[in-house]
A and B are shown apart, each in its own frame.
Chain A
Amino acid sequence: MIALLTPRNFVVAALLAILVLIPVYAHSTGNFFLVTLFTRIIILAMAAVSLNLIMGYGGMVSFGHAAYLGVGGYLVGILAYEGYSSGFVQWPLALLVSALFAFVIGALCLRTRGVYFIMITLAFAQMIYYVGVSLSRYGADDGLTIYNRSQFAGLLNLSNRTFFYYLCFALLLGTVYLTWRLVNSRFGLLIQGARSNDRRMRAIGFPTYRYRLACFVIAGTICGLSGVLLANHTEFVSPAMMHWTKSGDLIVMVVLGGMGSLFGPVIGSIALLVLEEALPPIMNVIGGLVAGSAGARVGEYWQMVLGPMLLLVVLFARGGIDGILSNWSGFVQGVREGFANLRAGVGNLFASARRG
């Protein structure tokens, strides 16, 4: 029997409801900043969901996942620049090329394990990054402005921000649904078995390499789609979108939200990107109250607050935010015990100080 009304399900439902209502809220207030911000969040959440497929379920920690954001994005940018702005050309081609890149990169990287896998995926992503930097025809370092979003022969109008928002949202939900089907299928169980114990998987008769590669390609293709959306959203592509720090951001989203959980990466991307936006003003207000005008610029140092927050989640919540939510009572108890230990420890310290 699966309980429906758990803290986790409640939070996920609330988040989805908020995501549905954001354009409504924007229309009623006339402030479209939130729509722009959350379109970006949704697109990156999709990339994080795809990374979670290989990292959380497959145990393949790719440190170069943002490369596919770049490949998908650049395909749209380059085709638009060369005069092919039809989405019917851009999108399938972008997915195909992302899949191709993932196939080649995966075929080589999956022969290695552990740290080597992390480093070699990073190396490939950096190679692609520098290819982007050297594309002088397409803006090189400065990037490339896209003057027309993908055209769908009048069927879809991506320039309508509300429509585009809901399109991204629908694609995110589609990706989560796809992941859900995948991880519970034979293919998905095999992938998770290979994460758990690859040697044993081969001993019972699975040629795991080809399945892991297939999984890697699926994830790369989905991330390529995120890149397509991101290019359409910002109407601009540049090598920066596939810099290794972006791959790091994606990993943080997955770990923060919860590796190997269905909605974890969605929660993680929302948490990370909302904090990035909200921390500076909040810190400014608090700083201003505490230290007057000098404290009102403390928001510039928001990363000094975000860093320890991430550290706490990694240290104390192995399953990320999703792990906390799905084992709420256990988490509360753990925190309580932690505090009790702390109090006892401090008490002992004082006692020994008094004695000594």
Chain B
Amino acid sequence: MADALLQIDGLTKRFGGVVASDEIVLSVPAGELHAIIGPNGAGKTTLIGQLTGEIAPDAGRIQFEGRDITALPIHTRSRLGLARSFQITSLFLDFTVLDNVALAVQAHAGHSFHFWRDARSDPALREPARAALQRVGLTQRADVLVANLSHGEHRQLEIAMALATKPCMLLLDEPMAGMGPEESARMVKLLHELKREVTLLLIEHDMEAVFALADKITVLVYGRVIASGEPAAIRVNPEVRRAYLGEQEAVSSHG
């Protein structure tokens, strides 16, 4: 436990009467692909928001590389090597694909108070950006405006941008949402390769993909961790089965 890359203890967040995160404890060692699953409204995105710093938790502690990051601002966490991709694609639509990735490189290349030199011809930004594009297979589309990309390509670009910041850990918020089967398969393949280079925290609805990729799965229901373990153990866990299979029943008894 001591050498976990990401360590979450007692993380709690309330929105009015709704407890979105209920004393979450989670530990992700370096090199692991850890998946978080749970029915809609289980608080998965709230959890990611607290990890990246967009949402301030009410209680609890987040440690990254042994350092308490609970109160650090968003950009500092990113600099420490905690990168994220967005659930709802959130790119710079009026920029080209290469410009998008180059911005991500720039974010981690020291301060940006450079007022004079043409950044678009700066190899220190362009070359790592091209490398990241190649990594996700978007080299051909480098000079296309992001607004003109397909949905699947947006998701690939999301990952290229996260990679370009050279993260130790990548938080992926539903990278396969809205993808066709072919695009999904390509994404699974890409994540499989990435797994060797970077620690991944994956939030995903596509169960097939999750069980194929994850080393460890944590199940979140109504903000609580109800189970955490190897995929095989999760698959047969009775509480998890109830949460998923009996979701209808659970909802009606709550309402």
Contacts and interface: CB of A to CB of B under 8 A. Distances in A.
17 contacts: A186-B119, A186-B125, A187-B112, A187-B113, A189-B102, A196-B93, A199-B54, A200-B92, A202-B74, A203-B54, A203-B74, A203-B86, A203-B90, A205-B79, A205-B107, A205-B165, A206-B75
Interface in A196-231: 196-197, 199-208, 211, 214
A258 to B, nearest CB: 15
A203 B112 contact: no
Interface stretch (A162-170, A177-185, A283-291): A177-185
A344 B228 CA distance: 65
Given A189-B120, A196-B95, A203-B52, 9 more contacts: A184-B118, A185-B114, A189-B99, A189-B103, A189-B106, A192-B95, A193-B95, A197-B90, A205-B108
A193 B103 contact: yes
A280 interface: no
A185 B118 CA distance: 5
A37 B79 CA distance: 52
A72 interface: no
Interface string B63-99: 0000000000111001100011010001111110001
Interface residues of A, number: 25
The 6 closest A-B pairs by CB, nearest first: A205-B78, A205-B107, A196-B92, A186-B114, A186-B119, A204-B107
B254 interface: no
A205 B166 CA distance: 11
A204 B115 contact: no
B182 interface: no
A55 interface: no
Interface residues of B, number: 36
A214 B113 CA distance: 9
B136 interface: no
B78 to A, nearest CB: 3
B52 A197 contact: no
Contact of A199 (B73, B90, B120, B122): B90
A190 interface: yes
A185 B92 contact: no
B115 A187 contact: yes
A182 B112 contact: no
Contact of B112 (A196, A199, A202, A206): A206
A184 B95 CA distance: 13
Contacts of B165: 204-205
A181 B99 contact: no
A203 B92 contact: no
B175 to A, nearest CB: 15
A319 B104 CA distance: 28
B122 to A, nearest CB: 7
Contact of B103 (A185, A187, A204, A214): A204
B228 to A, nearest CB: 26
A265 interface: no
A188 interface: yes
A211 to B, nearest CB: 6
Given A204-B161, A205-B78, A185 B91 contact: no
B74 A197 contact: no
B95 A187 contact: no
B116 interface: yes
B93 A185 contact: no
Contact of B78 (A186, A196, A197, A203): A203
